[in-house]
Amino acid sequence: MTPELNGIPVSRRQALAGLGAASLAGALAACGGGANAGKTTITYLSWENEEVARPLIDAFETANPDIAIDFSYSAPTAGYFQTLQTRIAGNQQPTVHRINPETKEKLIGEGLVADLTSEDFMGAIADANLRAYESDGKIYGASFGAWAAGVVYNRDLLNRNGADGVPQTWEEFLGLCKRLKTAGVTPYRESVQDIPSMFQAFLGAGYHLAGDELGEKKIFTGQSTFSREWPEPMRQWYRLYEEEIVGPESVSLTGTQLKEDFMAGNLAMFVTGPWDLTDIAASGLDWGISPMPAAPGGEPFATGAPDPGFAIAAAAQGEELEAARRFIAFLASGDGLGLAHEHIGTLVNTTDYTIEVVPEYQALYDDYLKTSKIYLPMNYWDHASDALQLEGIALCQQLVQGQLTVEQVAAGMDTKLASL
């Protein structure tokens, strides 16, 4: 499941304004004037706004008085990469910027980012985060956090119907949903304004059990197809509709509607992640969160993904390159990770640092996020992931409305990929 990180696009004029500011700052630094005289200046295009990013910048500059950071910001996700592309086109690529699955093909394929594989700060990064920014055995992004989503449940409603939590097998989960429905309780709802989270988790669980680190990347190397990978886990997820546990209204439901319905006590279970937990905790409900149940032949799993990684421009050389390395090393340090969690909310999943999370989320954090038992298909799609995601959503919506079969959805994805 994709968490609700709605992109806030910026206009071309705004992007160019950012480029102008960066150019001016670079010119001033080159002149050796101002408070940064005598320092090595690196440019940093931040994913977070200055209010939350500033504590990390200030802490780094205090610890490294010979380095200055020329900070700029663009909102994720579409606007950020529009700004980055504009700067790259203008030969003003920031020294340090973010890389994510949607952009790694271009950034790595065109040789725009540095190989970070051998850097010391990569040593504690989780497997899922390494895989997210790997190409041909080299790692190009340093990612120190992740998110994991699971099934949030109303403990009172489940207890009254004979369950003390979310069942860990799919058959038991479907059985509980039917008991709740018979008792007059809305058992489970989901939004199909994204590719359904339960299906995504079924995919990830299957690959994990098989020891298959390529996942759906195989589709993009010609080793497999959507028609081969998707039907079985999708058939299991689609039983929610065949067995009339949920209905086609899922097409129009939003995550916010589901959260509000749950907090009002009208819904027993739905899928969400860290972005909703503060509101749910404040609602006064007795609640919990669990991994997705295991489909037949699978295991419980979580939908989730590594955070965007930090990348260094391949053009950086000499003192600029060394300063960029020191900046990312700081972000990977205990001080940096602590500040990232405190001010940005990063759910740190390196092997050498642990954060505190709300008690209800602890098991999902320890047993799934930190052990890389998380999966998001788009992280494995090597190109055109935005277009394919939109196609996948449209096809799933037609499926739950009875207009397509599972096999037609998978074949539709192959057709779309062939057209891109």
Closest residue by Cα to residue 378 from 391, 388, 366: 388
Residue 18, pLDDT score? 35
Residue 34, pLDDT score? 65
CB atoms within 10 A of CB 147: 24
The tens place of each residue's pLDDT in the chain, 420 residues long, gives: 444 433 333 333 233 333 333 333 343 343 344 667 789 999 999 999 999 999 999 999 999 999 999 999 999 877 898 899 999 999 999 999 999 877 888 899 999 999 999 999 999 999 989 988 988 899 999 999 999 999 999 999 999 999 999 999 999 999 999 999 999 999 999 999 999 999 999 999 999 999 998 899 999 999 999 999 999 999 999 999 999 999 999 999 999 999 999 999 999 999 999 999 999 999 999 999 999 999 999 999 999 999 999 999 999 999 999 999 999 999 999 999 999 999 999 999 999 998 989 999 999 999 999 999 999 998 888 888 888 999 999 999 999 999 999 999 999 999 999 999
Contact between residue 311 and residue 107 where contact means Cβ atoms under 8 Å apart: yes
Cis ω on the peptide bond leading into residue 77 (within 30° of 0)?
yes
Contact between residue 363 and residue 187 where contact means Cβ atoms under 8 Å apart: no
* Euclidean distance between CA atoms 191 and 186, whole angstroms: 15
Closest residue by Cα to residue 69 from 78, 83, 58: 58
The DSSP secondary structure of 4-27, one letter per residue, reads --------HHHHHHHHHHHHHHHH
CB atoms within 10 A of CB 70: 19
pTM check: above 0.75: yes
Residue 30, pLDDT score? 38
Residue 10, pLDDT score? 32
Residue 374: φ, ψ to 5°: -135, 150
Contact between residue 73 and residue 115 where contact means Cβ atoms under 8 Å apart: no
* Euclidean distance between CA atoms 419 and 397, whole angstroms: 21
DSSP conformational letter for 76: T
Residue 382, pLDDT score? 81
* Euclidean distance between CA atoms 14 and 21, whole angstroms: 11
* Euclidean distance between CA atoms 215 and 203, whole angstroms: 8
Contact between residue 303 and residue 374 where contact means Cβ atoms under 8 Å apart: yes
C-beta pairs of 252-259 under 8 Å, 24+ apart in sequence: 252/193, 253/189, 253/190, 253/191, 253/192, 253/193, 254/191, 254/193, 255/4, 255/191, 255/193, 256/4, 257/191, 258/189, 258/190, 258/191
Contact between residue 350 and residue 337 where contact means Cβ atoms under 8 Å apart: yes
